[in-house]
Structure 1
Amino acid sequence: MNERKDQKMPYKDEQLSEEKVFKDPVHRYVHVKDQVIWDLVGAPEFQRLRRIKQLGTSYVTFHGAEHSRFNHSLGVYEIVRRILNNFDRKPNWNNEERLLCLCAALLHDLGHGPFSHSFEKVFKLDHEDFTRKIVLGDTHVNQILSRVSKDFPQKVADVINKTYEDKLVVSLISSQIDADRMDYLQRDAYFTGVSYGHFDMERILRVMRPMEDQVVIKETGMHAVEDYIMSRYQMYWQVYFHPVTRSAEVILSKILHRAKYLYDNNYQFSLKPAHFLSFFEGDVQLKDYLKLDEAVVLYYFQMWADEQDEILSDLCARFMNRHLFKYIEFNSNLQMKEWMELYSLFKEAGIDPEYYLVVDSSSDLPYDFYRPGEEEERLPIHLLMPTNEVKELSRQSDIVEAISGKKRTDHKLYFPIDFIEALPDGETKNKIIEILFA
């Protein structure tokens, strides 16, 4: 009997002596009982997510949108934990995959950088690539995962990368109805103060069933799923693609482009951009990536507002003080003549069009059925009928069928109205105003 007491439990099975809970405004509580999960939450690479906002520049539009990737990651973990509790002892579910699912859910956004997508576009980076590097590299997260088993970090990376052999596991955090989307829709709605992102998640979790290669939804839960899809549709157009948020993103991108241009042309910054050097040189090391968070970026923007370069100084002051660009509906593909004319007129007026005349487009596909060979194959949502037959959602739902496969795109043109108004009265100014506000 004493011998059995002395035998230490494998790390993967270790439980905390007392369950830990995080108070959460969306899920009420996030429950942690596994030692592995508790250790991962405490890892520096995960704590860094506290310093990365979930919604990038949306806080300039919705002042409550200050929540972090840390909040969201815990939320995705909690949803997966609840799903797996419901899956316990159900056919097609292998409980050996439980810890893998929880770790992948917790770590799925680990590689996000400051102001995520804008930052990635400028420096041609991919947050999923950095998630993989953090999970597999010389990091605290990797050390923790490696204690579970030698191949465990690779398994976690494969699930996040959607290449893991068990597609059911992958579908929990990456499909058209997954824990990731279910958390961010509700969390982003809560913090932005809008009502669009709410749906009956508890109902959806109750009717989820594990199949061989994906999660399916019992047909009785179809209306809750319709509600979820419409919530997603509304959130994209009312929150994620809000034109004021996009105006801030445009300025953010132009600041980074300008700073890189100046660096490439040997400009002498008053404050050496030490944290940006490997980004400017296109050789981003993991240690440099992990040191750059939004607090650091905003510090540089504040300092650059006093730089000698007028463009960098102006753009940084605009971003820091919410002095954003105005916008109009404008599709440069259909209005090429006006675009070229505006470009020339801005140059003539001494306003650099590379930084102050920007077309920005957003598009979203709210739901799609399976299209083999597409660049991004979307696994459709399947309903489990009372006969045990499985049917694709849009075949059963008129609401979902109405928006299936329909991509909506929105085009805007951004410009500094204050610069235009400050131009001396004359033909150039009149022509610019005529084209913009015809």
Structure 2
Amino acid sequence: MTTPYYGQLEEEKVFKDPVHRYIHVRDELIWALIGTKEFQRLRRIRQLGTTYVTFHGAEHTRFNHSLGVYEITRRILEVFHGRPHWKDEDRLLTLSAALLHDVGHGPFSHSFEKVFDMDHEEWTREIILGDTEINEVLTNVSADFPQAVADVIEKTYSNKLITSIISSQIDADRMDYLQRDAYYTGVSYGHFDMERILRVMRPMEDQVVIKQSGMHAVEDYIMSRYQMYWQVYFHPVTRSAEVILSKIFKRAKELHLSGYEFKQKPEHFYSFFHGKGSLDDYLRLDEAITLYYFQIWQEEEDRILRDLCVRFLNRRLFKYVEFDPNQRMNDWPELQELFRKADLNPEYYLVVDSSSDLPYDFYRPGEEEERLPIHLVLPNGKIRELSRESDVVEAISGKKRTDHKLYFPLDCLEDVREHKEVKERILRILKK
């Protein structure tokens, strides 16, 4: 590319979308970014990780979602056009950040990140600033444009209004994933009146605010977010698949570091087994590659890796019981010892998983920026924090809900051909 700037496409490009009906692209810059190989890679990474084992329709990708966030942002900016506090010169920066906000996600991202101690946001930054097609496209706008896009996504950009459009307690990112995830999982919880919210959004100096007349649509959005977290994102069956997935990565890494000889060398993971891999290695990873290794590892000599891969691929998941570690501290050492006696490594077969969510929070000085509260603008021009006007939101404000479950292979415990007494003792403790 030699053109030092981007204009408008000769003809608008349109993506047909089941959630927003149409996604409109008029800018050469956005069209060029969508065509980069790093952005196209998102077609091979599911938006909801292992959720497809619970809700079989949840096969949609980060590519779908990223286009959706771009489209919502584009519509917000149409509402902002010509209003005080909004400068149209920031339009392409905002749209680029919306489109690229998730470009650093890896395969089954949260499990992968946890085991290999990495963060998709850091990878997003590296992709935008590194030797990539995305960086080349952005640099053609101006030399400092990639850095500005990275700063908006990292929430360090000087103009907080732009950041809040993409990342706040009511933003284009959340508005897309709630509706998209509800659509593809087939649940009714994630739906709210987005068109109404978009119509009542207004730009202020440092954040987007909502006209008071749109308060009920925002209440609906917050409640739908609350429901989606507990009914979909934290669904215990999905979490079981997630637990097994994490343990597969953990076992493969442990085996490699101990000098184990794999039948098929896991070359795609080598650099991650030894610390942070290179950007090229990371961009080569997607879910097809990952599932290929899981398929092959079903034939491995190592009993634990083999068993975990068979479980993951054939949906033979761990069962679970409610288990608050604080209340059941006394059971934990005994359970671990009994699992060892039953020839089940507790590192892999006895797992406490905790989920927690804060559906809405008011401002807490010194806390992360994302908790900037939602503000309403009253008819007299005054600004009020949402929970002070809404009884519904006040009822859930600042209330963190946490859920603990203990996952284990019930099928192994019910097979009493060996270690019968030990396994019966384990089951008695679990059923307490």
TM-score (norm 1): 0.97
Match of 1:11 in 2: 5
Q: Report if aligned partners of 2:240, 2:407 keep a CA contact under 8 Å in 1.
A: yes
Match of 1:436 in 2: 430
**2:91 aligned to 95, 98, 107, which one?**
98
Q: Give the gaps of 5 or more residues in structure 2.
A: none
Q: Report if aligned partners of 1:176, 1:378 keep a CA contact under 8 Å in 2.
A: yes
Cα distance, 1:429 vs. partner? 1.9
1:287 matched to 2:287? The reply is: no
Q: Residues 354, 126 of structure 1: CA spacing in aligned structure 2 closer, same or farther, 3 A cutoff?
A: same
Match of 2:157 in 1: 164
1:116-169, Cα deviation, whole Å (9 max, x unpaired): 111100000000000000000000000000000010000000000000000000
**2:379 aligned to 383, 386, 390, which one?**
386
Cα distance, 1:337 vs. partner? 1.0
Cα distance, 1:428 vs. partner? 1.1
| Alignment: residue pair count | 430
d(CA) in 2 for partners of 1:151 and 1:338?
57
Q: Report if aligned partners of 1:258, 1:312 keep a CA contact under 8 Å in 2.
A: yes
Amino acid at match of 1:431: R
1:64 matched to 2:49? The reply is: no
Amino acid at match of 1:317: V
Q: Report if aligned partners of 2:4, 2:142 keep a CA contact under 8 Å in 1.
A: no
1:415 matched to 2:404? The reply is: no
1:243 matched to 2:221? The reply is: no
1:427 matched to 2:421? The reply is: yes
1:258 matched to 2:251? The reply is: yes
Q: Residues 426, 304 of structure 1: CA spacing in aligned structure 2 closer, same or farther, 3 A cutoff?
A: closer
Q: Which moved more, 1:423-432 or 1:19-28?
A: 423-432
Match of 2:72 in 1: 79
Match of 1:358 in 2: 351
d(CA) in 2 for partners of 1:273 and 1:258?
12
d(CA) in 2 for partners of 1:423 and 1:158?
57
Amino acid at match of 2:336: Y
d(CA) in 2 for partners of 1:247 and 1:161?
31
Match of 1:125 in 2: 118
Q: Report if aligned partners of 2:357, 2:400 keep a CA contact under 8 Å in 1.
A: yes
Q: Residues 86, 376 of structure 1: CA spacing in aligned structure 2 closer, same or farther, 3 A cutoff?
A: closer
Cα distance, 1:377 vs. partner? 5.2
1:3-47, Cα deviation, whole Å (9 max, x unpaired): xxxxx99623x1111000000000000000100000000000000
d(CA) in 2 for partners of 1:10 and 1:277?
39
Q: Report if aligned partners of 1:273, 1:300 keep a CA contact under 8 Å in 2.
A: yes
TM-score (norm 2): 0.98
1:155 matched to 2:148? The reply is: yes
d(CA) in 1 for partners of 2:5 and 2:25?
15
Q: Residues 74, 377 of structure 1: CA spacing in aligned structure 2 closer, same or farther, 3 A cutoff?
A: closer
d(CA) in 1 for partners of 2:175 and 2:151?
21
Match of 2:269 in 1: 276
1:305 matched to 2:305? The reply is: no
Match of 1:221 in 2: 214
Q: Report if aligned partners of 1:64, 1:191 keep a CA contact under 8 Å in 2.
A: yes
Match of 2:361 in 1: 368
Q: Report if aligned partners of 1:26, 1:186 keep a CA contact under 8 Å in 2.
A: yes
**1:208 aligned to 197, 201, 207, which one?**
201
Match of 1:5 in 2: none
Q: Report if aligned partners of 2:118, 2:276 keep a CA contact under 8 Å in 1.
A: no
1:335-355, Cα deviation, whole Å (9 max, x unpaired): 011111111111011111110
d(CA) in 1 for partners of 2:316 and 2:242?
12
d(CA) in 1 for partners of 2:133 and 2:188?
39
Root-mean-square deviation (CA, aligned residues, Å) is: 1.1
d(CA) in 2 for partners of 1:290 and 1:426?
48
Moved over 3 A (4+): none
Q: Secondary structure at the match of 1:26?
A: coil
Cα distance, 1:375 vs. partner? 4.7
Match of 1:176 in 2: 169
d(CA) in 2 for partners of 1:168 and 1:363?
28
Q: Give the gaps of 5 or more residues in structure 1.
A: 1-7
Q: Report if aligned partners of 1:349, 1:423 keep a CA contact under 8 Å in 2.
A: no
Q: Report if aligned partners of 1:370, 1:377 keep a CA contact under 8 Å in 2.
A: no
Match of 1:52 in 2: 45
